[in-house]
Amino acid sequence: MRVQSVSTALLAASAPLASAQLHRYAKKAGLLYFGSATDSPGQRERAGLEAAYPQYDAIFADNDQFGQTTPTNGQKWLFTEPERGVFNFTEGEITSDLAAKQGKLLRCHALVWHSQLAPWVETTEWTPEELREVIVEHITQVAGHWKGQCYAWDVVNEALNEDGTWRESVFYTVLGEEYINLAFKTAAEIDPEAKLYYNDYNLEWPGPKADGAIRIVKMLQEAGIKIDGVGLQAHHVASRAPTLDQQIAVLESYTALGVEAAYTELDIRLDVPSNETSLQWQKGAYINATGACAQVEGCVGITLWDFYDPFSWIPYVFPGEGEAHLWFADFTVHPAYYGVLAALKNATGACDKKVRGLAKLFRS
Ligand code: G3I
């Protein structure tokens, strides 16, 4: 039974809301923020859903709902340095400007990643020295451009395989694990105020990949290089999402190292079309993710990887799956919306997210 660690009371929560409140209740629960990533209109246009923009934008703009945002694509290497030494910040600025204008906290994403990498980085035969220069120049320009604006940067993204070994990216192939130290060291020099994160998927339960993330944190700490956080992307599947206990345990294994943690890209997909059962599984999985973060000291916030189903990346990557977000195409909310809110209110009710006994509230 997938939702075994979710209390019946929370699953039943569905009272209609007078107003939008996710960020507001997240703050009351002791989190720094509850937010949503968003794409630049230039990226969204491809979905052909321009008519939905006004309603989408109005929901996004409500800071009681979303107090934080992340550019889904615009700060990635492909956009920011499409050719060597040619920098373009326009796509990323659409979201960072929006964050500044609306007073939302900005998480920045992502400096060194094997995917959505400009082709020139992948196709050149680099010497180690040249690739070091390329990494330093990229971080210097990109983190330098947004200096002072980012609460956090995802400095290195997805460096690990599922078994905890290093992913064979161009960076690893040429430089070995040294590229991670170089990226964090450079980011710390360029934007000393930003929290520097290692970010990856499938870090939401204990196991070899989580051990790999712990190894990265320790590697940097032992080298005297600043690392401030572990980002758990949390791209989950409703029918087999991690339990509350697994998430609490893994979060505590990161925060025990003296770094913070955050859910950075939360979405929970299911087979489409959804039905009552799959939507209940999804609700339970959202409750457990939210509840885990809200009660582990050092888990600072939750970011949805967009909130509106039609703007999702999922159908392109997982055909037959989708409806992973909290708003359906017609702008009604998923049952999971009320689950997230109930989990936040529950943590608020317990007054202090440090209260360990809160875990019991989520068990049936
Ligand atoms: O919208 C177009 C559609 O019109 C077109 O038919 C289709 C053809 O492939 O492409 C659609 O756009 C895709 C877009 O996702 C949809 O959201 C782009 O091709 C695709 O490149 C883009 O992918 C992005 C992906 O990173 C690339 O790996 C996603 O937007 C973005 O959400 C996703 O984000 C990543 C994080 O950065 C890191 N963690 C994993 C996460 C999900 O993959």
The two counts, helices (H) then strands (E), for the chain are 15, 10
* CB-ligand 1 contact for 313 (6 Å cutoff): yes
Is the pLDDT score of 2 beyond 90?
Answer: no
Check residue 14 and give its pLDDT: 59
| pLDDT tens readout for residues 253-291 | 999 999 999 999 999 999 999 999 999 999 999 999 999
∠ CA 271-307-279, rounded to 5°: 35
Atom of ligand 1 nearest to the CA of 39: 30
Instruction: Find the range with the poorest average confidence among 44-48, 165-169, 337-341.
Output: 44-48
Atom of ligand 1 nearest to the CA of 46: 4
Name the pTM for this structure: 0.93
pLDDT band (50, 70, 90) for residue 15: low
Q: Is 81 a catalytic residue?
A: no
Nearest Cα residue to atom 25 of ligand 1: 313
| pLDDT tens readout for residues 253-263 | 999 999 999 99
pLDDT band (50, 70, 90) for residue 48: confident
SS3 346: helix
Instruction: Find the range with the poorest average confidence among 43-52, 102-111, 212-221, 306-315.
Output: 43-52
* CB-ligand 1 contact for 265 (6 Å cutoff): yes
* CB-ligand 1 contact for 72 (6 Å cutoff): yes
Say if CB 180 and CB 216 are below 8 A apart: yes
∠ CA 217-218-220, rounded to 5°: 70
Burial class, 177, CB count within 10 angstroms (exposed 0-12 / middle 13-18 / buried 19+): middle
Q: Is 265 a catalytic residue?
A: yes
pLDDT band (50, 70, 90) for residue 4: very low
Helices 276-295 and 244-255: crossing angle in degrees, nearest 10, is 30
Instruction: Find the range with the poorest average confidence among 7-16, 208-217, 336-345.
Output: 7-16
CA 314–ligand 1 middle distance (angstroms) = 8
CA 43–ligand 1 middle distance (angstroms) = 9
As a whole number, the mean pLDDT across the chain is 92
Atom of ligand 1 nearest to the CA of 109: 37
CA 313–ligand 1 middle distance (angstroms) = 5
